[in-house]
A and B are shown apart, each in its own frame.
Chain A
Amino acid sequence: MDRSFGKSGRRFLLWIDAVGGFWVCLDDTVVLGQPDPAAKVDIPILGDLSTQHARIRRDAEGYMIEGLRETRVNGRRAEPWALLGHGATIALGETVRLLFRRPLVLSATARLDFLSRHRTQPSSDAVLLMAEACVLGPRPTSHVVCRDWPCEVVLYRHEGELFCRVANVGNSPGEPPGLPTEAVFEIDGQKHRQRGQIHPNAHVVGEGFSLCLEEI
């Protein structure tokens, strides 16, 4: 088993206990479409779509979507392309509706939520288009809001590898977030302090949280 995030297949499922399952894409360009093992679809959506329905690109400026088939952004046609801003509604085909968000302004990571009754295949609760880092934590501006967590987990990229950093945040309501304190956590049973490298099937457990990566 290849235990690193190479150039290809740069996506994984992020299973967060008591929170949800997330479809994480690391590539700057992802294709959305009907699931088809033959076609390269980064985000397969079980919907009335073509196998290559639309392409979302990320660059230094932000995100744009290239509609290869019927695609609309905020009701306007997105063929050949349209810009994606925080809060944009993407309509793919007749029925698939996605909400595009960038919860954390400082991060280029974006999140796609399903407004319609569709899911990815295999199913997940939302799609994360991960740029440099992805924040999981109790704050409302986290990419994945984990309401009851006492800490914040940041997945980040460094030299082509994926790392994980855990920081405690202000625990009591009156206390400002302030400077996060370091936390101890385990990756596949091995203790780590502050940060550690994770592989495509890592199991990360810490005080009050646990999550798992799964290759797609």
Chain B
Amino acid sequence: MKPLVTPVDNQDSVAVDFRPADADSPRDLPAPARFVYPSGSQPLLGYTIKRGVGHGGFGEVYFAVSEAGKEVALKLIRRNLDVELRGMRHCLNLKHPNLLTIYDIRRDERDDTWVIMEYVSGHRLDEVIAAHPQGMPPDQVLAWFFGIASGVAYLHDHGIVHRDLKPGNIFCDEGIVKLGDYGLAKFISCSRRSGQTESVGTVHYMAPEIANGRYGKEIDIYALGVILYEMLTGRVPFEGESVGEVLMKHLTAEPDLSALNEPFRGIVARALEKDPAKRFQSVTEMLAELPRPARCEVFAGPLPVSGHDRELISAGKAGETGLPQAAAAAPAVEQEPIFMAVRALFRRACDTWRRSPFSLPTKIALLVVGAGVLLMTSNAWLSVLIFLVMLYAAYWVVRAILTAVLPRSSHGVGTLPPTAGLEAESRGQQAIASSLASTRGWPAKAPPSARTKPPERVGPRFPEGENEVLVLGPLRERWTQWVGSLVAGSLATLTMALVMLVLNGFRDAAAEPELWSLAWWSRYAWLVVVSLSCTWAVLTVSKFWEAGPGDAMLRRFLLMVVGLGLGLVAFGATTYFGVALNHDPRFVQLLRIRPHQNLLPTDGWVSAKYYLAAFATLFFIVRWWRLADPARPARMSLWPIIVCVFVAAVTADLWGFPQPWLPMVACAASVAVQLASPWIHPRDRRWQKV
């Protein structure tokens, strides 16, 4: 099938190439022209046309497949367009990842010229810009811009000026930016100079000196500035009703850069200088002023057609690959520098330890020896450590008060505002949605049912400050979970109490009641009852708090009240089981504030204050609900147990509560809570905005 080539009048190719400044109303566009060759035709031997892709400045572009199945783009250059192809030859063998590869140039039987090029399946930059009418996210802008600029730098390095840089010539293929129409552009500019109206589409990117016939590489720098501006704001810097108006603005008007942040503002200003000599003298110089993009790849997923779809796409994408947008959305949580430094040091030490060349038995031996040395010398360093910790606590409190009182410092000049892009994007969504609604009169249709639900995100916990909560099962399921966790918690507590008492018996058999004696059983009963009450209390309270973030101070206060109740339970258990909570003098008192008491069942209400104070403090300091958080990093981790035991030891010292009872309770409870409370694997977690 060979259709006749019908001359297409110039109006068509002009109109299609023209992207109006107001991208919100694409409907103002005339209908796209027909393509000369329908799907299935073979104008060029060996290639079957599948579909028309678009209309370039000088002809039609088709998607075609070779006999073997190679996908190519075919650009038809009509013979009625007087194009000198000889000059294109040296562009044929250019190789750069950011340049669209030209495979060959061929002539068909009709003497039409075909350029056989790499086919890119991704988006054109102008489509991406149109999908973000309020500007693209800054990290995407950088990723695109670095790709474009690398391609242009390569062309300049080979003595070629692109001359026709515009979003309609820039593509993305599997995340890699591809520059098209280089080499060909030269001849388009020729025809432009000869007064043809083809220039109308690219006039927005045209440097002022082109009016004087100057075509240096500065015109590419100027176009890069325009494209950068357009990607950031969604608009070109100079808009106008007519070609003449836009050209006049290029020559005389100053661009409005108020919408740009540094460092973009300065860079765009310098690239858009009217005098070519004042612009960046090379693309490399321009790139040097920009921050490096976090990822070199541009977003290659489907473009949103409405705000709703954008949410879907970004939600899906963020869940799968952790889009930089999500990272940018996390506000910079102000961290305490000393804590950060110590933590970093600790992590580095852990890392070094893990990579050390010692074998496992050696490591264990080293650990045992190290622990022994530390224990033996504990008298010397423990008090220093306690002193430092208390000093740090005082500093922390002062700092917390100061940061709460003083206003937050704003981000310094020269940094990218992390949330600006997102805000712009969400505004963009609204803009798209409302413009669609107003121009199309389309909101009559019921919105998709999913829209009523806030988008869900899959993945591990986001940094605190995100207004997101974990998606949990229905109430009934949670209720069953809670009952199950109580049972599991009791089993864990029974075991833990047994293990601890047996181990304690080994330390000094003489001082301890004989194993399985009545006195031993009453101690066991005391430990079980108190630990179990603590475990159940934490499990129950955490069940109400498990979904999401809450005010930590309020939770601590409530837990303190719970702790008072648990103190009473412990006091009651002592009296009921007739256990003598004797202080084991081998536990060195670290804080010599008040001497340790021996709490005997006969003491009566006089001793209750010790229980109340110790348990309330323990429950106020430790954030117990985190042990039961279904989104905790791991089901069972050692670190929180160590913290609990340590806090319990210090608390007991503080109030003179006999050792080692409180640490034993804390240990049993922290283990049991972690074991018993539900935990969701990070990959199955789903988050919901509140």
Are A and B part of the same complex?
Answer: yes
Task: List the interface of chain A (C-beta within 8 A of B).
Answer: 13, 15-18, 20-21, 74-76, 85-87, 89, 91, 97, 99, 101-106, 113-115, 117, 119, 122-123, 125-126, 138-141, 145, 147-150, 170-177, 201, 203, 205, 207-210, 212, 214
Q: A113 and B301 in contact (CB under 8 A), knowing A97-B320, A210-B38?
A: yes
Q: List 27 A-B contacts (CB under 8 A).
A: A17-B32, A17-B34, A18-B32, A20-B51, A75-B319, A75-B458, A75-B459, A97-B316, A99-B301, A101-B312, A105-B447, A113-B302, A114-B302, A115-B301, A115-B317, A117-B300, A138-B440, A141-B306, A141-B445, A170-B440, A173-B440, A177-B441, A201-B40, A203-B38, A208-B31, A209-B32, A214-B50
Contact B684 A76, beta carbon cutoff 8 Å: yes
B315 proximity list for chain A (CB < 8 A): 87
B447 proximity list for chain A (CB < 8 A): 105
Chain B 1-42 interface residues, beta-carbon cutoff 8 Å to A: 25-29, 31-32, 34-35, 38-40
Q: Per a CB cutoff under 8 Å, which of B35, B442, B449, B684 touches A177?
A: B442
Residue B448 CB within 8 A of the other chain:
yes
Q: Report how far A87 CA is from B440 CA in the complex, Å.
A: 23
Contact A91 B320, beta carbon cutoff 8 Å: yes
Stretch from B63-71, B132-140, B163-171, B501-509 at the A interface: B63-71
Q: A122 and B316 in contact (CB under 8 A), knowing A148-B29, A148-B31, A203-B38?
A: no
Q: Per a CB cutoff under 8 Å, which of B29, B50, B71, B316 touches A87?
A: B316
Residue B354 CB within 8 A of the other chain:
no
Q: Mark B291-331, 1 if CB is under 8 A from A, else 0.
A: 00000000011100110010011011101100000000000
Task: List the interface of chain B (C-beta within 8 A of A).
Answer: 25-29, 31-32, 34-35, 38-40, 50-54, 63, 65, 69, 71, 121, 174-175, 300-302, 305-306, 309, 312-313, 315-317, 319-320, 436, 438-442, 445-450, 455-456, 458-459, 683-686
Known: A101-B312, A123-B71, A170-B441. 12 other contacts (CB 8 A): A17-B51, A20-B51, A86-B312, A86-B448, A105-B446, A115-B320, A138-B27, A148-B32, A150-B31, A203-B40, A212-B38, A212-B39
Contact B51 A21, beta carbon cutoff 8 Å: yes
Q: Report how far A21 CA is from B121 CA in the complex, Å.
A: 10
Q: A148 and B305 in contact (CB under 8 A), knowing A76-B684, A91-B320, A177-B440?
A: no
A177 proximity list for chain B (CB < 8 A): 440-442
Q: Report how far A150 CA is from B30 CA in the complex, Å.
A: 9
Q: Report how far A170 CA is from B439 CA in the complex, Å.
A: 10
Contact A74 B436, beta carbon cutoff 8 Å: no
Contact A89 B302, beta carbon cutoff 8 Å: no
Q: Report how far A173 CA is from B29 CA in the complex, Å.
A: 11
User: What are the nearest 8 A-B pairs in CB distance?
Assistant: A208-B31, A212-B39, A75-B458, A15-B51, A176-B441, A17-B52, A89-B316, A87-B312
Q: Report how far A10 CA is from B442 CA in the complex, Å.
A: 33
Contact B302 A115, beta carbon cutoff 8 Å: yes
A17 proximity list for chain B (CB < 8 A): 32, 34-35, 51-52
Contact B35 A74, beta carbon cutoff 8 Å: no
- Which of A104, A148, A150, A172 lies at the interface centre, i.e. has the most chain B CB atoms within 10 A of its CB? A148
Q: Per a CB cutoff under 8 Å, which of B34, B52, B69, B440 touches A139?
A: B440
Q: Per a CB cutoff under 8 Å, which of B32, B63, B316 touches A115?
A: B316
Q: Per a CB cutoff under 8 Å, which of B29, B175, B305, B438 touches A145?
A: B305
Contact B50 A210, beta carbon cutoff 8 Å: no
Instruction: Determine how close the nearest CB of chain A comes to the CB of B423; give it in whole angstroms.
Output: 23
Q: Per a CB cutoff under 8 Å, which of B175, B301, B456 touches A74?
A: B456
Q: Report how far A203 CA is from B51 CA in the complex, Å.
A: 11
A122 proximity list for chain B (CB < 8 A): 65, 69
B455 proximity list for chain A (CB < 8 A): 87
B442 proximity list for chain A (CB < 8 A): 139-141, 177
Contact B319 A85, beta carbon cutoff 8 Å: no
A139 proximity list for chain B (CB < 8 A): 440, 442
Instruction: Determine how close the nearest CB of chain B comes to the CB of A169; give it in whole angstroms.
Output: 9
CB closest chain-B residue, reference A15: B51
Q: A205 and B320 in contact (CB under 8 A), knowing A18-B52, A115-B301?
A: no
Q: Report how far A141 CA is from B455 CA in the complex, Å.
A: 19
B450 proximity list for chain A (CB < 8 A): 85-87
Contact A126 B684, beta carbon cutoff 8 Å: no
CB closest chain-B residue, reference A125: B121
B320 proximity list for chain A (CB < 8 A): 89, 91, 97, 115
Q: A101 and B309 in contact (CB under 8 A), knowing A74-B456, A75-B458, A176-B441?
A: yes
Contact B458 A74, beta carbon cutoff 8 Å: yes
Contact A74 B319, beta carbon cutoff 8 Å: yes
CB closest chain-A residue, reference B309: A101
Instruction: Determine how close the nearest CB of chain B comes to the CB of A53; give it in whole angstroms.
Output: 17
A15 proximity list for chain B (CB < 8 A): 39, 50-51
B39 proximity list for chain A (CB < 8 A): 15, 203, 212, 214
Contact B436 A86, beta carbon cutoff 8 Å: no
Contact B25 A173, beta carbon cutoff 8 Å: yes
B683 proximity list for chain A (CB < 8 A): 75
Q: A105 and B448 in contact (CB under 8 A), knowing A115-B316, A207-B31?
A: yes
Instruction: Determine how close the nearest CB of chain B comes to the CB of A109; give it in whole angstroms.
Output: 13
Q: A173 and B439 in contact (CB under 8 A), knowing A125-B121, A214-B40?
A: yes
B53 proximity list for chain A (CB < 8 A): 18
A125 proximity list for chain B (CB < 8 A): 121
A119 proximity list for chain B (CB < 8 A): 121
Contact B302 A99, beta carbon cutoff 8 Å: yes
Instruction: Determine how close the nearest CB of chain A comes to the CB of B164; give it in whole angstroms.
Output: 20
A20 proximity list for chain B (CB < 8 A): 51
Instruction: Determine how close the nearest CB of chain B comes to the CB of A191; give it in whole angstroms.
Output: 15
A114 proximity list for chain B (CB < 8 A): 301-302
Instruction: Determine how close the nearest CB of chain A comes to the CB of B679; give it in whole angstroms.
Output: 16
Q: A89 and B684 in contact (CB under 8 A), knowing A105-B445, A212-B38?
A: no
Instruction: Determine how close the nearest CB of chain B comes to the CB of A180; give it in whole angstroms.
Output: 13
Q: Report how far A138 CA is from B306 CA in the complex, Å.
A: 12
Q: A210 and B440 in contact (CB under 8 A), knowing A173-B27, A205-B34?
A: no
Q: Per a CB cutoff under 8 Å, which of A75, A117, A140, A175 touches B174?
A: A117
B28 proximity list for chain A (CB < 8 A): 173
